[in-house]
Amino acid sequence: MKPGIFAIHPAMGALRLLPGLLPRLVLILFLTLGVNGCRENRTTAVESDTDTAVAYGDTIIMGTIGDATNLLAPLASDASSSAIIGHVYNGLIRYDKDMRLVGDLAESWDVSADGREITFHLRRGVTWHDGEPFTAADVMFTYRLMIDPKTPTAYADRYKQVEHASTPDPYTFKVRYAEPLAPALVSWAMGICPAHLLAGEDITTSALARSPIGTGPFRFVKWEPGERIVLERNEDYFGGAPYIKRIVYSIVPDTTTMFLELQSGGLDYMGLTPLQYARQTDTPAFSRRFNKFRYPAFVYTYLGYNLRKPMFQDKRVRQAISYAIDKQEIVDGVLLGLGQPATGPYKPGSWPYNPDVQRYLYAPDKARALLDAAGWKSSGTDKIRQKEGQKLAFTIVTNQGNDQRIKAGEIIQRRLQEVGIEVKLRVIEWASFLKEFIQPGNFDATILGWTIPVDPDGYNIWHSSKTGAQELNFIAYCNPEVDRLLEQGRRVLDIEQRKPIYYKLQQILAEDVPYTFLYVPDALPVVARRFHGIKEAPAGIMYNFEKWYVPQSQQKYER
Amino acid sequence: MLIHIIKKLAQMVPLLVGITLISFVVIHLAPGEPTDLQTEMNPEASTELKERLRTEYGLDKPLLVQYGTWVKRLVQLDFGRSFSQDRRPVWDKIIERLPITLLINLLSMGLIILTAVPLGIAAAVKRDSWFDRITTLLVFAGFAAPSFWLALLLMDWLGVYLGVVPVSGVKSFGYEYLSRVEQVLDVAHHLILPVFISAIGGVAGFSRYMRSNMLEVIRQDYILTARAKGLSERVVIGKHALRNALLPLITILGLAVPGLIGGSVIFESIFAIPGMGKLFYDGVMMRDYPLIMGILVIGAVMTLAGNMLADVGYALADPRIRRR
């Protein structure tokens, strides 16, 4: 997979629905009454699975819930824009199917012995979509753009750590860091911008934001705002021209409509909701026309405690709550079983994931014992526990627009009541939620989600220096050992050496429970059956999109 | 008459200032700023970016100064640039979405008038007949049914099961390869469901309104006079009663003018129509102040213009008002 940048947006939860990294797909409308622009091969389009020979051609129509906003890699941070950018641009490096870094525009790279200097050896003979050659000057330009104070990018920080950047020759790019920085390498997966088109331009008003020119496997064709974005294959792509001729991203803001559109044949790809996956697609008619996929998404949902509140400062209370919540019940109830309980901030099965941590399986008796030990006792007739005249009661806040979080909150509310904790649930519109509750630390507990970054560095979320008003450690978690591990983890580049550090980090988080990790949902994409060559891997299914193809006899769109 | 119009126009200016000032203050009072949403909860975003964006957008200045800047630009007909990530001129964003919203609203308004007026008159004339009762029942059912639910049922039935109309959107993929005539047919084909759904609630309300107007007029003395003169029932109803019963329609149409540029978010989301409702809703959610203000100003101007058209229309149609 090849996202232009790694937008790490829990905000997706608010306005869009779910996972961050994978593009969301679907919709377009086709047409029926004989009025049909791209003539369909109606007679042959149906699925004889016998012909599987690789062939060029056909169009894939993918649905997306939201329109893209900006197609310049440094300025985009939403999922829809990132998906398009991933097809149009290349980074120096990218992730392969196993989420390992491999060369992209860089053929290879060396890291110096002290880990401070990275030398990228760029591919020769690569051209931009307008025919100009790609060189190290473009990389240098992109780097300068990222650190330019006038560029309103959210991603400047990592590039500012660069002490010195140079281009010894047109096909070599060198960066030196003040200190070794593990997430630094990943930052070069961001889309490289064309210097010859952007130099001297005001990037915020550049025409390229609406009609990008990159080096990627697909070139931009047109954007009809609010309706669709069309891309066509780049015949000169250095990785070999993709088989599929055209991608159409169609914007359908409603998932129910998207599903109807899919069934009517107007869409070839969409991300299903758990309900659609489990209850509405198990018919022979559906499986004759579509292939469903299922794998863990790169997101997790958690219950976070505001550690400034005296009630939550006692670790035993947090542990007790974790025992009182039945995570499997939430997975079954909210995701219809299409997900798994989370145990920490990493994706199960990925390299930093530590499977051997305290899991807090549902055990209400342990919860009661822990609460008793912490001094919260229920007296006589009142079921709600008290300590020094104060009730054990708190409010969980979450954002509007994400039903899964709200349902999870309701289940938690009932389970905690059973062990004598009174919980109120408040749902607030996203902007107000951030401004009035999260930023000023004005909440008891919150249900939110994070996208799981590919690099395990969680410095901004867990480090005690990141508890300021605008910062991401908004629960004010502070543990000197965690701080030390985080600092150490980002300074080591070797995976085998980093592993024990992040294993240990997960153990401490499981013991401390600053969050109760709730669940990792599954991504549930569905693709029209005529598309072949799709291979599910840890990275999902989109990583080898250029290799998807439709056998000649099954192609649907001639033009 | 002319003086009447000029007076009205002059009154609109302070009204417009008042409307924009209040809206400007209110949207800025809502918690959250555009910069929060672009930088917040993103582990890679730096806090400097937020400060920089605030300065760039002028959000660090006092509210009234911001309003002054905005008004200064507005009088030059410049709506400013959107605060969202695309930073496009607000006017461009509005103008690309306006046509489809106008088209759907005009079509549905036309459909409403064409069906509701005869329906209402017939129900009034045949008051308490079976026809009246059945239309009353249907009309209330139409009024009560949630339109999103009706829309989804029809999409599933007509779009997926029968496959006779497109499920969503306004144009086919491959639209640009079609001939002019085919393009018009294609859009019309896509609009059948949306226009029907958006008209259904209006037909219900409007036909009831028409019926009660008509009933009231029929009770008037001059109708009695007309009948006493021995005019045929057809002339009594079609000429004397109908013209009077249609008068209130002018007010309603005037009030509906600002509605022409509005769209419902739910409706547009369900049909995947890139219209004004979704644009405005997303603008509010992102706290995109210039965009919100741009749409509000257009809405305010159209409301005032609609009121004025209604006034003038009334004066033209009704001598009693003209004389005052």
Q: With an 8 Å Cβ cutoff, is A442 touching chain B?
A: no
Q: With an 8 Å Cβ cutoff, is B160 touching chain A?
A: yes
**pLDDT band with cut points at 50, 70 and 90 for residue B154:** very high
Instruction: Summarize pLDDT for B185-204 with one digit per residue, the tens.
Output: 999 999 999 999 988 888 88
* Closest Cβ opposite residue A470 in set B47, B53, B163: B47
Contact list in B for residue A227 (CB cut-off 8 A) is 169-171, 272, 274
* A253 with B269: Cβ contact below 8 A: yes
pLDDT of residue A318: 96
Read off the pLDDT of each residue in B110-135 and give the average, rounded to a whole number. 89
- Residue in B with minimal Cα distance to A37: B174
- Residue in B with minimal Cα distance to A208: B86
Running DSSP on this structure, what letter comes out for residue A433? Answer: I
Which of B50, B249, B99 is closest to A153 using CA atoms?
B50
Read off the pLDDT of each residue in B65-89 and give the average, rounded to a whole number. 87
Instruction: Summarize pLDDT for A487-499 with one digit per residue, the tens.
Output: 999 988 888 999 9
Read off the pLDDT of each residue in B208-222 and give the average, rounded to a whole number. 89
Cβ neighbour number for residue A384 with a 10 Å cutoff: 14
Residue type, B19: I
- Residue in A with minimal Cα distance to B84: A69
Total H helices, total E strands in chain A: 18, 22
Task: Compute the distance between CA of residue A172 and CA of residue A542 in angstroms, rounded to an integer.
Answer: 30
What stretches in chain A show pLDDT beneath 70? Answer: 1-49, 380-381
Which 180-209 residues of chain B touch chain A by CB within 8 A? 182, 185-186, 189-190
Read off the pLDDT of each residue in B63-88 and give the average, rounded to a whole number. 87
pTM listed for this prediction:
0.84
* Closest Cβ opposite residue B167 in set A6, A70, A266: A266
Place of tokens 């496959």: B163
For B54, the token pair is: 């605030």
Q: With an 8 Å Cβ cutoff, is A537 touching chain B?
A: no
Q: With an 8 Å Cβ cutoff, is A27 touching chain B?
A: yes
For A498, the token pair is: 């980093």
Most confident range, picked from A475-479, B11-15, B43-47, B73-77? A475-479
**Residue B150 pLDDT exceeds 70:** yes
Which 238-277 residues of chain B touch chain A by CB within 8 A? 268-272, 274-275
CB B295 within 8 A of CB B280: yes
Contact list in A for residue B46 (CB cut-off 8 A) is 154, 156-157
pLDDT of residue A513: 95
CB A363 within 8 A of CB A390: no
SS3 at position B144 = helix
* B112 compared with B321, residue with greater pLDDT: B112
* A29 with B173: Cβ contact below 8 A: yes
Place of tokens 């639209």: B175
* B186 with A31: Cβ contact below 8 A: yes
Q: Each residue of A167-180: b (16+ CB within 10 Å) or e?
A: beeebbbbbebeeb
Characterise A386 by phi-psi region: left (phi > 0), alpha (psi -120 to 50), beta (else): beta
Instruction: Summarize pLDDT for B271-323 with one digit per residue, the tens.
Output: 999 999 999 998 988 889 999 999 999 888 888 888 888 888 888 877 777 66
Contact list in A for residue B156 (CB cut-off 8 A) is 260
Contact list in A for residue B155 (CB cut-off 8 A) is 257, 260
pLDDT of residue A31: 26
* B84 with A69: Cβ contact below 8 A: yes
Instruction: Summarize pLDDT for A240-282 with one digit per residue, the tens.
Output: 999 999 999 999 999 999 999 999 999 999 999 999 999 999 8
* B49 with A152: Cβ contact below 8 A: yes
Residues forming a β-bridge with A557:
A40
Q: With an 8 Å Cβ cutoff, is A272 touching chain B?
A: no
Which of A371, A399, A396 is closest to A386 using CA atoms?
A371
* Closest Cβ opposite residue B42 in set A8, A149, A254: A8
The residue among B154, B168, B171 with the most chain A CBs within 10 A of its CB, best to mutate, is B168
pLDDT of residue B41: 60
**pLDDT band with cut points at 50, 70 and 90 for residue B324:** low
Contact list in A for residue B48 (CB cut-off 8 A) is 156
CB B172 within 8 A of CB A248: no
* Closest Cβ opposite residue B32 in set A254, A260, A432: A432
